[in-house]
Amino acid sequence: MAITMTLPLYRSSVMLASRSSKIVNTRFLSSSSSHPFVLSHPKDVDTIIGGGSGTKRGRIVCVTSGKGGVGKTTSAASFATGLASRGHKTCVVDFDIGLRNLDIHLGMERRVIFDFVNVLMEECSLSQALIKDKREKHLSMLAASQTRDKESLTVEGVEKVLSNLSKTFDYVVLDSPAGIESGARHAMYFADDAIIVTNP
C-alpha cells in the first residue's frame, strides 16, 4: 500500500489525506446537529479569534479508520509523541467517548481527573483537563470520558475546544473512534488532515 505523508517523521500502514484532496472532499450524512457534516471547518478554527486574518493556528490531524482494532490509538499516540519529540507543541485528544484508552497508551491512566466531556459541559476549564506528559515536555493529552456517551459531543462544543487548543499547540492530533458514527464524524469535521489507518 502506498503511503503519502506531509510530515516525514512517521512511518506505518497509514495514508495521509489532505483537506485539499478529493478523498476528504466528501459530504457525510447529517447528524442531529443543525450543522451538515462537511469536511471543512468554520472560520473560528481557521484563524485565531481576535487575531488578524494572517494569525497562525495549530494544525489539526485526525487519525481514523472505518474499522476497529487496526491501531488508530497506537498510531495517534506514536504520531503525537514523534511530533513532540521534534519540538512541536502537541496535544492528542481521545474522541472515543465511553471507551477511553489513549491514556493507557501514554501511561497517564492514573492522572485523569477531568475529561473532554467535562470541558464541553463547562464542569472544568480546558487547562484543568489537559495532562502533560512526564517524558515529552511538548506533549499533552485530553482524555475521553468513560461514563458518558457520544451524544455528549456537539459541533459547537467540539469547535470551541479545538479552537482553544489550536491557539496553544502547533499540532492537535485527534484519536477517532472506528466507523462513521457520531464520535468519528465529530473528530473528522474540523481536521486539516486525516491519517487513515488500515490493515495491509
| Diameter over CA atoms, the chain | 45
Q: Are 182 and 151 in contact (CB under 8 A)?
A: yes
Per-residue pLDDT of the chain (200 residues; tens, 9 = 90+): 333 333 333 333 444 554 433 333 333 333 344 444 443 555 556 655 455 555 678 999 999 998 888 999 999 999 999 999 999 999 999 998 888 889 999 999 999 999 999 999 999 999 999 999 999 999 999 998 887 766 778 888 999 999 999 999 999 999 998 877 778 888 888 899 999 998 87
Reported pTM? 0.76
